[in-house]
A and B are shown apart, each in its own frame.
Chain A
Amino acid sequence: MAEPLLILDRVEKAYTRGLINKQVTFRVRADLTFGQSAIVGMMGPNGAGKTTLFEMMTGSNVPTAGRVLCSGKDIHQVKYRERDRLAIHYHQSYQVRHFRRRKPSFMLESAGSDYPLVHLFDEPQFNTQDGYIGFMLDFFRKLRSENRLVFICLHPTAKYHLDILKEVCERFVFVAGGEAKEAPSLDALKEDTRFRSYLGDVMAVA
């Protein structure tokens, strides 16, 4: 049987302050499995750790604990330049962070894939004025039909953002309070008081 496309195996990132008396200043955890191709909507307040999760999923940011498995391969054990053949992060242009590399590339393994299996879209610019949204949504669907896993990280600031997520996504992940949790549907998420307060005014019209 084919390996699941993506497993976040008790992945955790913690940032600490202080050398002796360490205090955790930030923490995000995820324990999720995505067996097959899907389009996943990811939401969560600023600073909750969405981008950090994406960075761990693409192998640039090393988790404090746990593993990220892409089609059975631990992405953090794959050659640096080949990691985007497993999972690729389409950044917001102003938010590319660089991390120190600890192991030389020759000690790492090959990706064994030519085109990314997991595609992470970090706050894509959806503008209803120019019509590009339609082509972007078609592209997400095309990737899914080619057995890829697609994540759309979005901050819903208008009702049409929720409409977009509802139109294309079949799974939803909400990142808040240091944890990434899956919800069975957008409607189920709306029952969560934290999600309702995160949406704020958008919730009123949704």
Chain B
Amino acid sequence: MALFEAQGLHMRFGDRVVLEDISLDFPEGRLSGIMGPNGAGKTTCFNVLTGRYKPTRGRVVFDGEDITGLPPRTIARKGVSRSFQLMNLFNDFTAEENVLVALPAMRQRGFDLIGDAMGDRDLRERAEAVLERVGLAGKGPELAKNLSYGDRRALEIGVALAAEPRVLFLDEPTSGLGTDAIARLGHLIRKLKGEITIVAIEHDMEFLFGLADSIAVIHWGQVIRRGTPAELRANPWVQNSNLGRLK
């Protein structure tokens, strides 16, 4: 059984249909990709899956529990973390502090006690372990705003991981990154694969084809095609596109 499922999601904005009968399933421990051209409805779908929008119709099921319409923070507490297309970090906090505030143990203490937390060796070790996991070992004391764009993306994933989720949703992780940073991010995500269930929305077909176990192609607010990267790559139009020529 899939760990996370979307069942017949419909979404309307006024009279406009933005999602039409979307059903998806994300098996535990796998990396599932969602891709599609600009304006296809990917981010809206993502926002419904992670609780930012309530679907007009349909269900979102996590580990057998119906979580449709629950507030994002409740969904997050159940073990679902997400990153954003536009980064959400505390710029004037250090990388370590950004991770610290996301640790479940820290949340129990209350955010205003960050000064105390910095004196708690156990918490700081946990934060350091998260930074190491995302390739930012030794960068804990740097302010988030001073990090390179690629490091900031890695830190954002670190913040999402700090909450110890069972499912990690990544919204266009390559957006704004250069070739080198994309390669580094690919390496990081490959390392996380298998440890945690990942769902990645991505516009960059090449990136997703190299990482995902299965992919759903979304366009016009619908799932227009599903398959493994090999199955999708076999399409003659894909073969003749830039992606086919890359092989």
Taking a contact as CB atoms closer than 8 A, the residue among A127, A129, A132 that contacts B217 in the complex is A132
Cβ-based interface call for A106 (8 A): no
Given A81-B15, A84-B17, A88-B17, the answer on whether A131 and B225 have CB atoms closer than 8 Å is no
Cβ-based interface call for B123 (8 A): no
Given A130-B243, A131-B244, the answer on whether A138 and B235 have CB atoms closer than 8 Å is yes
Q: Are B237 and A133 in contact (CB under 8 A)?
A: yes
B 190-247 contacts with A by CB, 8 A: 205, 217, 219-220, 222, 224-225, 232, 235-244
Cβ-based interface call for A15 (8 A): no
Residues of chain A within 8 A (CB-CB) of B239 are: 131
Residues of chain B within 8 A (CB-CB) of A127 are: 37
Q: Are B241 and A135 in contact (CB under 8 A)?
A: no
Cβ-based interface call for B39 (8 A): yes
Given A129-B242, A136-B219, A139-B224, the answer on whether A115 and B37 have CB atoms closer than 8 Å is no
Q: Are B237 and A134 in contact (CB under 8 A)?
A: yes
Residues of chain B within 8 A (CB-CB) of A129 are: 241-242
Residues of chain B within 8 A (CB-CB) of A93 are: 39
Cβ-based interface call for B28 (8 A): no
The number of residues on chain B lying at the interface, defined by a beta carbon within 8 Å of a beta carbon of chain A, is 26
Q: Are B220 and A134 in contact (CB under 8 A)?
A: no
Cβ-based interface call for B25 (8 A): no
Cβ-based interface call for A137 (8 A): yes
Q: Are A135 and B224 in contact (CB under 8 A)?
A: yes
Taking a contact as CB atoms closer than 8 A, the residue among A125, A128, A137 that contacts B241 in the complex is A128
Given A135-B217, A135-B232, A138-B224, the answer on whether A128 and B17 have CB atoms closer than 8 Å is no
Residue of chain A at shortest CB distance from B240: A128
Q: Are B225 and A139 in contact (CB under 8 A)?
A: yes
Counting residue pairs across A and B whose Cβ atoms lie within 8 Å, the total is 63
Given A81-B15, A84-B17, A88-B17, the answer on whether A134 and B235 have CB atoms closer than 8 Å is yes
Residues of chain A within 8 A (CB-CB) of B235 are: 131, 134-135, 138
Residues of chain A within 8 A (CB-CB) of B217 are: 132, 135
Nearest-Cβ distance from residue B9 to partner chain A, whole angstroms: 14
A 91-107 contacts with B by CB, 8 A: 93, 96
The number of residues on chain A lying at the interface, defined by a beta carbon within 8 Å of a beta carbon of chain B, is 24
Residues of chain B within 8 A (CB-CB) of A121 are: 220
Nearest-Cβ distance from residue B17 to partner chain A, whole angstroms: 6
Q: Are B225 and A138 in contact (CB under 8 A)?
A: yes
Residue of chain A at shortest CB distance from B21: A115
Given A81-B15, A93-B39, A136-B224, the answer on whether A131 and B243 have CB atoms closer than 8 Å is yes
Residue of chain A at shortest CB distance from B241: A131
Nearest-Cβ distance from residue B74 to partner chain A, whole angstroms: 30
Residues of chain A within 8 A (CB-CB) of B39 are: 93
Give complex CA distance A134, B234 in Å.
10
Q: Are B219 and A137 in contact (CB under 8 A)?
A: no
Give complex CA distance A131, B229 in Å.
13
B 1-50 contacts with A by CB, 8 A: 15-17, 20-21, 36-37, 39
Residues of chain A within 8 A (CB-CB) of B244 are: 131
Cβ-based interface call for A151 (8 A): no
Nearest-Cβ distance from residue A34 to partner chain B, whole angstroms: 20
Q: Offer 13 A-B interface pairs, CB within 8 angstroms, sorted by A.
A: A80-B15, A90-B220, A93-B39, A121-B220, A128-B240, A128-B241, A130-B241, A133-B237, A133-B241, A135-B219, A139-B219, A139-B224, A142-B224
Please provide the 6 A-B residue pairs with the shortest distance between their CB atoms, ordered closest to farther: A134-B237, A131-B241, A134-B235, A131-B238, A139-B224, A135-B225
- Give 16 A-B pairs besides A115-B21, A134-B237 with Cβ atoms closer than 8 angstroms: A88-B20, A128-B237, A130-B37, A130-B242, A130-B243, A131-B238, A132-B217, A133-B237, A134-B236, A134-B238, A135-B224, A135-B225, A135-B237, A139-B219, A139-B224, A142-B224
